[in-house]
Amino acid sequence: MKNVYFDSAATTQIRDEVVDKMTSVLKENYGNPSSTHSFGRSSKTLIEQARKSVAKILNVKASEIVFTSGGTEADNLALNSAVRDLGVQRIITSKIEHHAVLYTVNQLQNCFDIEVEYVSLDSKGHVDLKDLEERLKSSDSKTLVSLMHVNNEIGNMLDLKKTAQLVKSYNALFHSDTVQSVGHFELDFEEIPVDFTAVSAHKFHGPKGVGFAYVRRNSGLKPLIFGGEQERGHRAGTEGVHNIVGLEEALKLAYQDLDKEQAYVKGLKQHFIDKLKQEIPGVSFNGACEDHTLSTYTLLNVCLPVSQEKALMLLFQLDLKGIACSKGSACQSGSDSGSHVLNAFCSEEDLKKPSLRFSFSRYNTKEEIDYVVATLKDFIES
């Protein structure tokens, strides 16, 4: 049996170079970064070097990078502080955001009685920027807009710069979950006027349990976690030096040959689209998956012509064949309620069919795609 991993949007395979770097730090740089002796100073130096490296890649100040446990914490940090400390009275978001945003917004609405509005989506799940502008015009309340750059289930891409400029033209704050885009696209946060973003290392071949928030200077953001003065007072807790160094190494490697890797993975995605159309009549794609300009090259959300009864066995059968993919988001895979993303814009007819998310990386091959398509074809025709 083959083992085929097409679930990189959930988590990526860690690079060997990252493992080697982290192992070295675990063995040799075990001092507490807050200690003033040489062991502590050595660890602290590695953290600050990593901060500078990350900042340089995104063209921001090192002081604007706050290391966190991952994207969820970074989202929570920005949203909570915006309401609690910055006076935000209204949040505009969309119904296809990651639950790290949606659940946090719901909690803030319950605790602080803020206004929450959901921007309209078109038939492909794209944010309607005209509707966003109308909502920005409609109130003088201090507003934060939270819209993700790349959707983790359908891959739709937001025009981040255009959206940020629109939001700033109405003096609102802008937060964007960039977990699926940092490490996969060139981003210049000095040029794109976003106030807060969230990033997670395990989405670009780094370790789990570490990420960072980009926090624009002089934003007034306050900590979510209290205790020590780590991360310049933004995030208390002894830093995982090996994880932070692993994040740095993974991010540097991601951008080292980005054009080459983009072209390779985009070729895999197109091959998958072509093979599915060729072998499975009636197949369709959710969101804007087929359009490389409107969707990320890293994932494909496929709607299969299968009955609801047969669909119940689909993921199980794929797993038996050694194929890893997702029913929507991995964060939701234990839920029977279906994908909140697809529910937000898909037709009733399409929602009755099974949809699978296949996501790709530099470690995948066309031969693996051919195996997956053949397996899907056999299942549908059996």
Give SS3 for 346.
Answer: coil
Q: Which fold has domain 4-12+257-381?
A: Aspartate Aminotransferase, domain 1 (3.90.1150)
Residues 6+ apart with CB under 8 A from 74: 66, 68, 196, 197, 198, 199, 200, 211, 212, 213
Residue 32's nearest CA partner among 23, 47, 44, 22 is 44
* CATH 3.40.640.10 location in the chain: 16-256
Q: Inform me whether the pLDDT recorded for 331 exceeds 50.
A: no
Both tokens of 296, joined, read: 């990320």
What is the mean predicted confidence (pLDDT) over 132-139?
A: 97
Residue 371's nearest CA partner among 326, 321, 333 is 321
Output DSSP code: residue 283.
Answer: -
For residues 321 and 311, the model is more confident at: 321
Residues 6+ apart with CB under 8 A from 216: 64, 189, 194, 195, 196
pTM: 0.96
Q: Which secondary structure element, helix H or strand E, spans residue 300, and what is its range?
A: strand 299-303
Q: Are 173 and 87 in contact (CB under 8 A)?
A: no
The residues annotated with a catalytic role in the active site are 331
Q: Inform me whether the pLDDT recorded for 26 exceeds 90.
A: yes
Residue range 16-256 forms a domain whose CATH class is: alpha beta
Condensed to tens digits (0 to 9), the pLDDT of residues 168-195 reads 999 999 999 999 999 999 999 999 999 9
What pLDDT does 349 receive? 87
Q: Inform me whether the pLDDT recorded for 87 exceeds 60.
A: yes
Strand partners, 196: 175, 215
What is the mean predicted confidence (pLDDT) over 16-31?
A: 98
What pLDDT does 165 receive? 98
What is the mean predicted confidence (pLDDT) over 26-50?
A: 98
What pLDDT does 327 receive? 84
What pLDDT does 1 receive? 65
Q: Are 239 and 47 in contact (CB under 8 A)?
A: yes
Burial class (CB in 10 A: 0-12, 13-18, 19+), 53: middle
What pLDDT does 336 receive? 59
d(CA 259, CA 346) in angstroms, rounded, equals: 33
Q: Give the rounded percent of residues in the chain with a pLDDT score beyond 90.
A: 92
Q: Are 342 and 153 in contact (CB under 8 A)?
A: yes
Strand partners, 301: 357
Burial class (CB in 10 A: 0-12, 13-18, 19+), 206: buried
Strands annotated E in 147-227: 173-177, 196-200, 211-215
What pLDDT does 308 receive? 81
* CATH 3.90.1150.10 location in the chain: 4-12+257-381
d(CA 111, CA 109) in angstroms, rounded, equals: 6
